Amino acid sequence: MEDSIHTVICWFVLPLWFAAGFADYLFHRRTQIERYSGTTESLIHHLMMAQVGLPLILAAFFRIDALLIAVFAICFIAHEITGNIDIRWASGHGRYVSASEEQVHSVLEILPLAAALLVILPHFGQALALFGQGPEHADFSLALKAPPPLWQIGMTAIALIVLVIGPYTEETVRCLRTSRHAAAGFKPVE
């Protein structure tokens, strides 16, 4: 079962997640995030990526136990709260958030939960143990497991850099440049 779950995450969840993240970046670019909600919103996006990335990295290299399940839950809740702050900040600072962008946000909100549930499913005894239920004792050790194949790590890293890290870094640089120009009194060309 774990092999099937790993396949679903690697060949469905992650590509969809990366594509949705890139689509969201394109919406930010089209609505000129740098002129409206600016650097703060862009930095919020980096925080949200960290909230999603931490559990993924841990799940790739460490055995799933009660500790990792707790980290998944905390990061998911934090991601949901941060997502709400993100939308409030953007709309409160005049950036138009279209229905299509909201649909992309829906994908970006549900995929962390879907991935967490898929990873937790074969280790449900540890999830129950977090609450003192079931026959297992909660294991809070951080034990390494056999890493994924090197080619898979490489392909995931390339996709992550090209579709997520690179574009969002460009977004932040664009926002910083625009705020610096605004502080110096330069007006953007219309």
- How many domains are contained in the chain? 1
Q: Is residue 185 part of a domain?
A: no
Rounded to an integer, what distance in angstroms lies between the CA atom of residue 54 and that of residue 134? 27
Q: Is residue 77 part of a domain?
A: yes
Residue 54, domain extent? 2-179
What is the per-residue pLDDT across 71-81, written as a single tens digit (0 to 9) for each?
Answer: 999 999 999 99
pTM for this structure?
0.90
Q: Bridge partners of 144?
A: 62
pLDDT of residue 187: 66
Q: Is residue 184 part of a domain?
A: no
E strands along 83-142, which residues? Answer: none
Q: Is residue 127 part of a domain?
A: yes
What is the per-residue pLDDT across 141-187, written as a single tens digit (0 to 9) for each?
Answer: 999 999 889 999 999 999 999 999 999 999 999 999 999 877 777 66
Residue 136 binned pLDDT confidence (cut-offs 50, 70, 90): very high
pLDDT of residue 182: 78
Instruction: Check if the beta carbon of residue 167 is closer than 8 Å to that of residue 18.
Output: no
Q: Is residue 141 part of a domain?
A: yes
Residue 62 DSSP SS3: strand
Rounded to an integer, what distance in angstroms lies between the CA atom of residue 80 and that of residue 10? 23
Q: Is residue 190 part of a domain?
A: no
Q: Is residue 108 part of a domain?
A: yes
Q: Is residue 189 part of a domain?
A: no
What is the per-residue pLDDT across 80-130, written as a single tens digit (0 to 9) for each?
Answer: 999 999 999 999 999 999 999 999 999 999 999 999 999 999 999 999 999
Mean pLDDT of 127-135: 96
